[in-house]
C-alpha cells in the first residue's frame, strides 16, 4: 500500500471534470493511504465557491462535493504542527505557505505530495525537495 499526501488541486479532480481527473481518481480506486492537511477542506471549499460564482456548479452541488470530501477515508493532519516547516519551505522556495504546507506534510510523513499545480511542481523540480513531489500524471496505475 502506498502513502500519498494529496493537495487540493488533485482532490478537487475527484469530483469535478478537469484535466487529469481520471488519473487523480486512481488514488481513490486503489488501496492507497491518503494524507491531507486540514487546510485541504478550506482550499477545496474556495475552489467550489469560485465555480459557483462562475456558474459551473450550483451551490447545492458544491455543498455535496464538500460533504463527500469530508466523508472520505483519508488521514487528516492538523496544520498547526506543520506551520513552521511550511513557512521555512515557502521562504526557501518563494512559494505560498498554503502550497508548502502539503509539502511539509509529505516530508514529515516520509512520502510524496501528489500535485496538479504545474507552477509549484516545476518551481521545485531543481530543489532538494523534488524527491517529495509527484506529478499527478505519474501516479502509478
Coil, helix or strand for 40?
helix
Q: What is the pTM of this model?
A: 0.94
For 21-47, the pLDDT digits (tens) are 999 999 998 789 999 999 999 999 999
C-alpha cell at 46: 474556495
CA 78 to chain centroid: 14
Strands (DSSP E) found in 1-141: 2-6, 32-37, 75-77, 112-115, 133-135
Low-confidence stretches of the chain (pLDDT beneath 50): none
Domains of the chain: 2-39+74-138 (3.40.50.1010)
Amino acid at each position: 500500500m502506498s502513502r500519498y499526501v494529496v493537495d487540493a488541486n488533485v482532490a478537487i479532480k475527484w469530483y469535478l471534470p478537469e484535466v487529469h481527473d481520471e488519473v487523480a481518481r486512481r488514488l481513490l480506486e486503489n488501496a492507497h493511504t491518503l494524507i491531507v492537511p486540514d487546510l485541504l477542506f478550506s482550499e477545496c471549499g474556495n475552489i467550489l465557491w469560485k465555480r459557483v460564482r462562475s456558474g459551473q456548479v450550483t451551490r447545492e452541488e458544491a455543498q455535496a462535493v464538500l460533504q463527500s470530501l469530508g466523508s472520505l477515508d483519508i488521514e487528516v493532519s492538523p496544520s498547526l504542527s506543520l506551520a513552521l516547516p511550511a513557512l521555512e519551505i515557502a521562504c526557501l522556495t518563494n512559494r505560498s505557505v498554503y502550497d508548502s504546507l502539503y509539502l511539509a506534510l509529505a516530508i514529515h510523513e516520509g512520502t510524496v505530495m501528489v500535485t496538479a499545480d504545474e507552477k509549484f511542481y516545476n518551481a521545485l523540480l531543481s530543489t532538494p525537495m523534488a524527491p517529495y513531489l509527484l506529478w499527478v500524471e505519474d501516479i502509478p496505475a
